[in-house]
Structure 1
Amino acid sequence: MEFLPAQEDLWHIGVSILCGSLIGFEREYRNKSAGFRTIVLICLGSTIFTIVSKYGVGSDDRIAANIITGIGFIGAGVIFKDKFSVMGLTTAAVIWTAAGIGMAAGIGYYGLAVSLSVATIIILSLFSKVELMFEGWHLTRVLYIGFHDTDLKRLEEIAALLDTHRIHYKRKSISKHNHKLSVVLELSSNRNRLRSFNDSMVTLDFVEEFYYNS
């Protein structure tokens, strides 16, 4: 029985912590729910299970499969779904990726683990600018509007305003509560037109509140 870890295992652990720290720092900087410590521990935990599987007899595949299953539960826990939108998908994907990187470090593929960590940071950091560029061309958002009364003519005025700003829209639902009308619309346009539309919405007295769900 050995009480001290093998030097090779210490390298596995060190690289795992390094890779998890790289990704975790980016997540912490952006103030995500799965931050620095969480990502490091997920990466390290996957490495630990991978190292342990090395000392078992014929258990490698089973432990690796269980890592994937366990990480799936953690990833599902950070996904939030309301009536019209889903949030946390990117964070769940980062958790999944960090676990894979931890497994790579656990079997000694240091170059692969570090390379995947750098690639993940590039995707999270630089690709967000690509998303913003796409949003400049086309953007889809779900808009909730609450009115002060139940006058259906308000919907016609909103529709006219949308047409004025050349925004495509589709009504998803309409409801009444406490003698007040509310409607949910799906809007499609570019960022500048939506911004101009928002400025116009603020000036409407018959609109009690409005906000976007995604």
Structure 2
Amino acid sequence: MMDWLDDSRLHSILMSILCGAIVGFEREYKNKSAGFRTVILICFGSTVFTLLSRMGNLSDDRIAANIITGIGFLGAGVIYQGKFSVQGLTTAAVIWSMAAVGMMIGFEEYLLGIILTVFMVIILSLFQKIEHFLGNVYFIRTIYVTFQNFGVADLGNFENLMKEHEVTLQRKGLEKNGNLLTVIYEVSGNKKNIRRANETIIALDYVYSFNNLS
């Protein structure tokens, strides 16, 4: 047993904890559901199972292969439908990627494991800023607007008002319910302009209800 602790397997386990802690700290800092301890355990567990699949008479590649299947169920568990959009996709991707890093470390590819961990932190932090920048430049949302009546005058006034806010509208559907008319629009443009347009829509007297969906 002590020989097992003295060989490279112990180094693999310690390295998996280190890599998990690096990514886990970033996730915990941003208050994500898969935080510090969770990410460490994902990396740790993947490394242990990979080591187990390589151990002497117990060697069985199916153990390492099934990590991919098992981690898929774990990742799916953090994805949920929020009020306006699907949530947890990035967290699920982190779980999946961290398991891959753990497996890499289990095969004693320590340098590559560290490099992949650093890349993950860069993607999660620096690339998020790029994502926000692109979102500010070009933003797309689906909105549901219900008008007080089904007259075309209000519909025309609304669409002209959106043009004044430099927001592009594309009708996706119409629904009449009694005296109410619901129109589904896909809106696109600068994020700031869309936000201002949303605030204007809320204040319109002829708009009965308004939903802004991702």
TM-score, normalised by the number of residues in structure 1:
0.84
User: What is the CA–CA distance in structure 1 between the aligned matches of 2:82 and 2:149, rounded to whole Å?
Assistant: 25
What aligned pairs does 1:30-109 form with structure 2 within 5 A after superposition? 30-55=30-55, 57=57, 59-81=59-81, 85-109=85-109
1:98-139 Cα deviation digits (max 9, x unpaired): 001111122222211111111101111001111122123211
User: 1:162 maps to which residue?
Assistant: 162
Q: How does 1:108-187 map to 2 (within 5 A)?
A: 108-147=108-147, 149-153=148-152, 154-175=154-175, 181-187=181-187
* Aligned residues with identical type, % of pairs: 48
Instruction: State the alpha-carbon separation in 2 of the partners of residues 32 and 184 from structure 1.
Output: 32
Give the deviation of 1:15 after TM superposition. Answer: 1.1
SS at match of 1:6: helix
Write the distance in 2 (CA, Å) between the matches of 1:105 and 1:51.
9
> How far apart are the structure 2 equivalents of 1:141 and 1:203?
19
Q: 2:17 is matched with which residue?
A: 17
For structure 1, the residue ranges without an aligned partner over 5 or more in a row are: none
Deviation at 1:12, TM superposition (A): 1.3
Aligned to 2:5: 6
8 A contact 2:52–2:58 mirrored in 1: no
Contact preservation (8 Å) 1:102, 1:113: yes
Amino acid at match of 2:117: S
CA spacing shift, 1:159–1:77, aligned 2, 3 Å = same
Q: Which runs of 5+ in 2 are unaligned?
A: none
In 2, the alpha carbon distance for the partners of 1:174 and 1:157 equals: 16
SS of 2:205's equivalent? coil
Aligned to 1:205: 205
* Range with greater deviation from structure 2 (192-201 or 78-87): 78-87
Structure-2 residue corresponding to 1:27: 27
Asked whether the equivalents of residues 150 and 176 of structure 2 are also in contact (C-alpha less than 8 Å), the reply is no
Distance in 1 of aligned mates of 2:35 and 2:151: 46
1:16 touches 1:102 (CA, 8 Å); kept in 2? yes
